Structure 1
Amino acid sequence: MAQLREQIERIQGPSRREREVLPFGLNVVDGRLPAGGLELGSLHEIAGGGNGAIDGAAAALFVAGIASRTTGKVLWCLARPDLFAPAIAQAGLHADRIIYVEAGDDKTILACAEEGLRHGGLGAVVGEIARLSMTASRRLQLAAEGSGTIALAIRRWRRQADAVDFGQPTAAVTRWRVSVMPSVPLPVPGVGRAKWLVELIRCRAGESADFELEACDGTGRLALPPDLVHRSPEKEIWRRFASA
């Protein structure tokens, strides 16, 4: 596998090898990514595990955590202003770092996201879209490669028919799905830290996997649940993966 990756890198050229990486800081996750984290200058695709608002909100917070760990302003392109800013801030991405662009449809959002990526002075560009064709995703990927800015596409569906599009191939380097799980229990009455099932369902030059993780904290970082800290999460992941 290592020799194959070296051959691919030689074909893709030095710019591919020298691309910067944004690690999650969790070996269990970064170890499944060929570059040891999310490649900057690339397109990454994220969706909620279901069609409901709860999983969609988890996907948005997952993206906010990633964007918060970049340097610079974040361009967030959306169809309508329905983000809850305090929740985004709790994931580490504060309001003074975000530039919101409200667009009316996917076509306009994609155009704004591409323009933001080509600008080259942003930490991340986020686009909330229902449909993402291969052509549109290639344009975003090329724009991200040219500037080195990470592109994050959140798939949001307001109609059940649009969700089918998520199964179609795109040029995204990774594709993720985030679902809400019961929060971590507390020793006293109350609600513990949110918990997610994070699925890596596509990874270029890598393999799929899924992880049970605690949601982003105030610095945008994920964590392993306490019951996984003192055992091998890799074995647990592959046990569940094999039984699926």
Structure 2
Amino acid sequence: MATLDAPARPSGAIPFALDVIDTRLADGGLAVGALHEMTPAAPALAEDAATTLFISGAAARAGPGPVLWVLTKFDLYAPGVEQAGLGPDRLMFAQARDDRELLAVMEDALRHGGLAAVVGEVRRADMTATRRLQLAASDGRTPALLMRRWRKLGTSPLNEPSAATTRWRIACASSVPLGVPGVGRACWSVELVRQRNGNPFSLIVEGCDAQGRLGLPATAADRAAAAGHRAQAA
């Protein structure tokens, strides 16, 4: 059973271990004592799954301690989350009656300081609620990962104001062939819509591996390597 001892985690940020991402983030990764929001690019099951796995990978990289996942509907597919690096030995769940209770549970858990990360899934969180989460994450030196679900068609959850340090939009992209007909490694379109003290960007990445790490498709990796060689030559 997971314990709540203070986790060993990166002191300032959770890196993606991909220069093409980390060098574009003001904190060199996801700031530890901060709120980060992720939302599916569309109200579709595939985008929901991609966003869930993106968050799972970030939580898995946050350190070896336990991760609390708070939701109002217990529909998380644990085997899929485990494939993204977040196994049952680290994962704890809390089911809230509504978004208001969910946000309160997240806030208390963040202030505790004994968790590697706190994840929550909501349909509504106003500016006051996100400020409280941001402050609680800072106080507890614990990353808050908030998945904003769609409430209605045509209105992106990221249209609502937020105090989050970063805000991400995740979508499915064409998979990378693995040499077996009909089988490929999942790829996602990852868009950083907003970050504090930095610029937005977007790119295509390969989905999380068993340690929660993202990858670059071969063509993108080749372009990144070429850019690095050009910079060194200059």
TM over 0.5: yes
The letter of the residue matching 2:186 is A
CA distance in 2, matches of 1:79, 1:29: 32
Matched, 1:69 2:61: yes
2:138 pairs, out of 138, 145, 149, with 145
The letter of the residue matching 1:133 is D
In structure 2, the CA distance between the partners of 1:157 and 1:89, relative to structure 1 (3 Å rule), is same
Q: CA deviation at 1:221?
A: 0.2
Give the unaligned 5+ runs of structure 2: 1-9, 228-234
1:103 pairs, out of 91, 96, 100, with 96
Matches within 5 A, 1:93-132: 93-132=86-125
Matched, 1:210 2:198: no
1:184 pairs, out of 176, 184, 190, with 176
TM-superposition CA deviations, 1:192-229 (whole Å, max 9, x none): 11000000000100000001000000000000001112
In structure 2, the CA distance between the partners of 1:118 and 1:91, relative to structure 1 (3 Å rule), is same
SS of the aligned residue for 1:28 comes to helix
In structure 2, the CA distance between the partners of 1:114 and 1:175, relative to structure 1 (3 Å rule), is same
1:42 alignment partner in structure 2? 34
1:26 alignment partner in structure 2? 18
SS of the aligned residue for 1:128 comes to strand
CA distance in 1, matches of 2:168, 2:114: 26
The letter of the residue matching 1:56 is D
Asked whether the equivalents of residues 215 and 223 of structure 1 are also in contact (C-alpha less than 8 Å), the reply is yes
CA distance in 1, matches of 2:102, 2:180: 45
Asked whether the equivalents of residues 114 and 139 of structure 1 are also in contact (C-alpha less than 8 Å), the reply is yes
CA distance in 1, matches of 2:164, 2:32: 12
Asked whether the equivalents of residues 187 and 206 of structure 2 are also in contact (C-alpha less than 8 Å), the reply is yes
Matches within 5 A, 1:185-200: 185-200=177-192
CA distance in 2, matches of 1:187, 1:60: 27
Q: CA deviation at 1:35?
A: 1.4
**How many residues matched?**
217
Q: CA deviation at 1:19?
A: 6.0
CA RMSD of aligned residues (A): 1.8
The letter of the residue matching 2:35 is L
Among all aligned residue pairs of Structure 1 and Structure 2, give the percentage whose two residues are the same amino acid: 48
The structure where helix makes up a greater share of residues is 1
Asked whether the equivalents of residues 28 and 234 of structure 1 are also in contact (C-alpha less than 8 Å), the reply is no
Matches within 5 A, 1:73-84: 73-84=66-77
2:45 alignment partner in structure 1? 53
SS of the aligned residue for 1:95 comes to coil
SS of the aligned residue for 2:216 comes to coil
Give the unaligned 5+ runs of structure 1: 1-17, 236-244
CA distance in 1, matches of 2:208, 2:131: 29
CA distance in 1, matches of 2:171, 2:67: 24
SS of the aligned residue for 1:139 comes to helix
Asked whether the equivalents of residues 132 and 165 of structure 1 are also in contact (C-alpha less than 8 Å), the reply is no
Asked whether the equivalents of residues 150 and 157 of structure 2 are also in contact (C-alpha less than 8 Å), the reply is no
Post-superposition, which runs of at least 4 consecutive aligned residues in structure 1 deviate over 6 A? none
